[in-house]
Structure 1
């Protein structure tokens, strides 16, 4: 019983430490939609502009090319885990975004049952 409790606590701690950033130049629509504040229309606008003009050079390039992405929204997106070329917006502290995969959780739960 103690072993199961320890495994559960360890699993919960591990899950809370898993973070993910979404790079605007690599993400598909689903990944962009997963960023808080970006909905289907914004992710489509980002993907359309990326297809038309190539990868975004930096945050300023993203803001210039995508209608609706200004200083405030880009700060919020950065805090929610969006990056441009792997970098958060300068001067904005990125908040950690939790990501848990169902498969790994199921595997760990199955191990606990043994």
Structure 2
């Protein structure tokens, strides 16, 4: 095997998992195809938040509900990042799904 073939083999081996992850992220969940998913985080239950927002499990969803019960309703989407365990990246990933 020559150097170019070896290099190409290594590059492809490293890039395929990245390509697959990108394709999965952009394709989304087929059961929601054609459906605009919006969650009002000031009214939704923890289970609804966990089911409909990406990267938020039940524990984080419960933290969101607890935070809003203690601090009042969220006024801006970015306020979700104030909840322990919810980062700016998670908020950005769900920006089109979050309603106040």
Same fold? TM cut 0.5: yes
TM-score (norm 2): 0.58
Pair 1:72-2:89 in alignment: yes
Query: What root-mean-square deviation, in Å, do the aligned CA atoms of Structure 1 and Structure 2 show?
Result: 1.9
> Shift of the alpha carbon at 1:20?
2.2
User: Aligned partners of 1:62 and 1:84: how far apart in 2?
Assistant: 11
> Are residues 1:28 and 2:30 paired?
no
Q: Match of 1:39?
A: 57
Q: Distance in 2 between matches of 1:44 and 1:24?
A: 11
Q: What displacement does 1:16 show?
A: 4.0
**1:40-62 alpha-carbon deviations (Å, 9 max, x no partner):** 11001000001111100102322
Q: Distance in 2 between matches of 1:84 and 1:19?
A: 12
TM-score, normalised with respect to structure 1? 0.52
| Unaligned runs of at least 5 residues, structure 2 | 1-31
The aligned length equals 68
Does structure 1 retain, via aligned residues, the 8 Å contact 2:78–2:91?
Answer: no
Per-residue deviation, residues 47-79 of structure 1 (Å, max 9, x unmatched): 000111110010232212x01222212112225
Secondary structure (helix, strand or coil) at the match of 1:62 reads helix
| Bigger share in helix | 2
Higher relative contact order (CA 8 A, sep 6+): 1
Alignment gaps of 5+ in structure 1: 1-14, 86-114
Q: Which residue of 1 aligns with 2:77?
A: 59
Q: Which has the larger radius of gyration?
A: 2
